[in-house]
């Protein structure tokens, strides 16, 4: 049986971290989280070196679209996630920037490389 390949297109402070963790656990595939985040350019440059046949969950924000995006989208189930309450989303984003606390992961099978 083929493992699912899932790309979650989303925006910040939408609940996407928890959503991707749940998808990863339910599908029993690695969660590469925000693999294409600017804070980790070495990661997205080496994305092709990963064994993507094992399936995956990858979260991509609008500002994280990189070169492998086109082939990734073509070969994956693409899910969109957004938060209806934009005021709460912006407030949460502001607070995170002020405090430096983005989220707390209790338990995850997030891929670490």
pLDDT digits (tens, 9 = 90+) for 31-86: 988 888 888 777 766 777 777 788 999 999 887 887 677 778 888 999 999 888 88
pLDDT band with cut points at 50, 70 and 90 for residue 110 = very low
Per-residue pLDDT at 4 = 94
Measure CA 61 to chain center: 8
Radius of gyration (C-alpha) of the chain in whole angstroms: 14
**For residue 106, is pLDDT > 90?**
no
- Rounded Cα distance, 43 and 3, in Å: 22
The per-residue pLDDT for range 4-20, each reduced to its tens digit, is: 999 999 988 888 999 99
Q: How many Å is the maximal CA-CA distance in the chain?
A: 45
- Rounded Cα distance, 43 and 47, in Å: 6
Residue 56, both tokens? 């995956």
Per-residue pLDDT at 100 = 79
Residue 45, both tokens? 């440059």
């Amino acid at each position: 049986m083929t493992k699912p390949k899932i790309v979650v297109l989303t925006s910040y402070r939408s609940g996407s971290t928890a959503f991707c963790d749940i998808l990863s656990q339910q599908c029993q595939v690695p969660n590469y989280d925000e693999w294409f985040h600017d804070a980790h350019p070495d990661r997205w440059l080496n994305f092709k070196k990963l064994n993507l046949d094992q399936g995956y969950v990858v979260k991509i924000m609008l500002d994280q679209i990189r070169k492998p995006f086109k082939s990734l989208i073509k070969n994956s189930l693409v899910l969109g996630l957004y938060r209806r309450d934009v005021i709460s989303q912006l407030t949460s984003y502001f607070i995170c920037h002020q405090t430096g606390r983005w989220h707390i992961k209790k338990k995850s099978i997030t891929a670490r490389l």
